[in-house]
């Protein structure tokens, strides 16, 4: 195609704010047109989207919120937004030129005009799968890194528990913990995922939480001496059971609470007194506020990935039209590994 040419542009449109469990029909495929040229006088860039990321936080963007939230809501009638890997087709920005690869907040569509180029990350190392830049080399990777190393101050020999452990973040936290010399146990929602944790990611132990009617007993089995570090991705009943099993002086990095996102009212957590009686620190965090660590993080992880010391499992769905189903699948645990949508491969 030619620069400046007007082409058709498939988009996934967000229909309207929702409550409760999201459905595929909350989104609709639509085809518009876009001119492949940045308007004069703007420093925007025009990109072709290649890989889109499906992340649990996007559920928050589907709700209308009274108070400002940590992430802005989607705009009804416009495409969803999320992190993606994209190729620059046209640029008025001095730092980007045609052909550059970037990862950034982009639209759920074939082509996007990105008007906030401060949030663009140029991809310089292409000696790895490009899709990793929405996963192990992108936001989930930095989330795992900041949450584990900055918030949890792990020490060799400590006992680490990770929920939603086979997801895009959990699988990395587990491998970081093993590299640090910790004992690592993960929970996940199927036999396939549990096998992945033990066989691909080197977790010491893993269990299927859906098969444990007593989570407290399950954790006692894997942590007879207690848990030093809990990397929290699910909330609710699991958090309650973990609190009972934390060690004195333990640390909890609260990254997400996916079990709660689609409930009208979140479940009650009853065992918070453990924070006092066991002098536990529980700290929530948002990766956005740790983005200054990204260069240091890349220096850390790129060699590990290239040397095969960190594995990364993706669940790759082909085609923008399948993106809504992929997003919904996060909340039923359908995905095995990091959920990625391929819009185009180049």
Among residues 272, 306, 319, 332, which is the contact residue for a second copy, using CB under 8 A?
272
Among residues 283, 309, 318, 321, which is the contact residue for a second copy, using CB under 8 A?
283
How many residues contact a second copy, by CB under 8 A?
33
Among residues 25, 41, 276, 299, which is the contact residue for a second copy, using CB under 8 A?
276
Q: Rounded CA gap, 157 and 155, in Å?
A: 6
Q: Is 254 in the site for a second copy (CB under 8 A)?
A: yes
250 φ, ψ (degrees, to nearest 5): -75, 165
Provide the minimum distance between the beta carbon of 90 and a second copy in the complex, in angstroms, as a whole number: 36
Residues 288-317 that bind a second copy (CB under 8 A): 289
Kindly indicate which of the ranges 23-31, 93-101, 134-142, 257-265 contains the residues binding a second copy, using the contact rule CB under 8 A. Answer: 257-265
Q: Which is nearer to a second copy, 131 or 259 (CB)?
A: 259
Provide the minimum distance between the beta carbon of 339 and a second copy in the complex, in angstroms, as a whole number: 20
Kindly indicate which of the ranges 11-19, 182-190, 269-277, 304-312 contains the residues binding a second copy, using the contact rule CB under 8 A. Answer: 269-277
Residues 116-175 that bind a second copy (CB under 8 A): none
With b for 16 or more beta-carbon neighbours within 10 A and e for fewer, the 47-75 pattern comes to: bbbbbbbbbbbbbebbeeeeeeeeeeebe
Residues 65-94 that bind a second copy (CB under 8 A): 69-70
Q: Rounded CA gap, 123 and 226, in Å?
A: 41
Provide the minimum distance between the beta carbon of 19 and a second copy in the complex, in angstroms, as a whole number: 15
Q: Which is nearer to a second copy, 52 or 151 (CB)?
A: 151
199 φ, ψ (degrees, to nearest 5): -90, -35
Q: Rounded CA gap, 302 and 294, in Å?
A: 12
Q: Which is nearer to a second copy, 99 or 268 (CB)?
A: 268
Q: Which is nearer to a second copy, 82 or 256 (CB)?
A: 256
Q: Is 266 in the site for a second copy (CB under 8 A)?
A: yes
Q: Is 235 in the site for a second copy (CB under 8 A)?
A: yes
Among residues 170, 256, 329, 333, which is the contact residue for a second copy, using CB under 8 A?
256
Q: Rounded CA gap, 158 and 155, in Å?
A: 6
Q: Which is nearer to a second copy, 239 or 298 (CB)?
A: 239
Q: Rounded CA gap, 271 and 119, in Å?
A: 40
Q: Which is nearer to a second copy, 45 or 274 (CB)?
A: 274
With b for 16 or more beta-carbon neighbours within 10 A and e for fewer, the 14-24 pattern comes to: beeebeeebee
Tokens of 84: 């993606």
Q: Which is nearer to a second copy, 218 or 341 (CB)?
A: 218
SS3 253: strand
Kindly indicate which of the ranges 4-12, 186-194, 195-203, 263-271 contains the residues binding a second copy, using the contact rule CB under 8 A. Answer: 263-271
Q: Rounded CA gap, 189 and 171, in Å?
A: 14
Provide the minimum distance between the beta carbon of 266 and a second copy in the complex, in angstroms, as a whole number: 5
Residue 241's closest CA among 276, 213, 206? Answer: 213
DSSP-derived pairing of the beta strands 101-107 and 121-122: antiparallel
Distance of CA 3 to the CA centre of its chain: 33
Q: Exposed, middle or buried by CB within 10 Å (0-12, 13-18, 19+), for 40?
A: exposed
Among residues 202, 271, 300, 322, which is the contact residue for a second copy, using CB under 8 A?
271
174 φ, ψ (degrees, to nearest 5): -60, -40
Q: At what angle do helices 191-199 and 170-179 cross, to 10 degrees?
A: 30
Residues that bind a second copy (CB under 8 A): 60, 69-70, 235, 239, 254-257, 260, 265-286, 289
């Amino acid at each position: 195609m030619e620069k400046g040419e007007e082409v058709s542009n498939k988009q996934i449109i967000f229909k309207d704010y929702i409550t409760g469990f999201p459905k595929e029909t909350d989104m609709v495929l639509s085809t518009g047109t876009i001119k492949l040229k940045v308007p004069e006088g703007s420093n925007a860039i025009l990109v072709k989207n290649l890989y889109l990321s499906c992340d649990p936080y996007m559920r928050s963007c589907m709700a209308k919120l009274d108070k400002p939230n940590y992430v802005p809501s989607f705009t009804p009638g416009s495409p969803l937004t999320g992190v993606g890997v994209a190729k620059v087709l046209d640029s008025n920005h001095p730092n980007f030129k045609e052909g550059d690869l970037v990862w950034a907040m982009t639209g759920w569509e074939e082509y996007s005009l990105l008007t906030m180029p401060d949030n663009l990350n140029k991809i310089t190392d292409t000696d790895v799968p490009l899709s990793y830049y929405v996963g192990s080399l992108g936001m989930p990777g930095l989330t795992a890194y900041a949450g584990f190393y900055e918030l949890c101050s792990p020490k060799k020999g400590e006992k680490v528990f990770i929920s939603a452990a086979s997801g895009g973040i959990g699988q990395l936290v587990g491998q970081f913990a093993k590299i640090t010399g910790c004992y690592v146990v993960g929970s996940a929602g199927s036999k396939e995922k549990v096998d992945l944790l033990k066989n691909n990611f080197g977790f010491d132990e893993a269990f299927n939480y859906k098969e444990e009617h007593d989570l407290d007993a399950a954790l006692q089995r894997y942590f007879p001496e207690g848990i030093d570090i809990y990397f929290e991705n699910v909330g609710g009943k699991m958090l309650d059971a973990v609190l009972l099993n934390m060690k004195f002086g333990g640390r909890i990095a609260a990254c997400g609470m996916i079990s709660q996102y689609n409930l009208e009212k979140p479940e009650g957590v009853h065992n918070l007194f453990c924070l006092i009686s066991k002098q536990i620190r529980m700290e929530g965090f948002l990766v956005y506020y740790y983005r200054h660590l990204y260069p240091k993080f890349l220096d850390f992880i790129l060699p590990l990935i290239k040397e095969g010391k960190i594995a990364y499992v993706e669940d790759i769905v082909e085609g923008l039209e399948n993106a809504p189903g992929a997003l919904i699948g996060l909340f039923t645990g359908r995905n095995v590994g990091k959920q990625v949508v391929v819009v185009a491969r180049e």
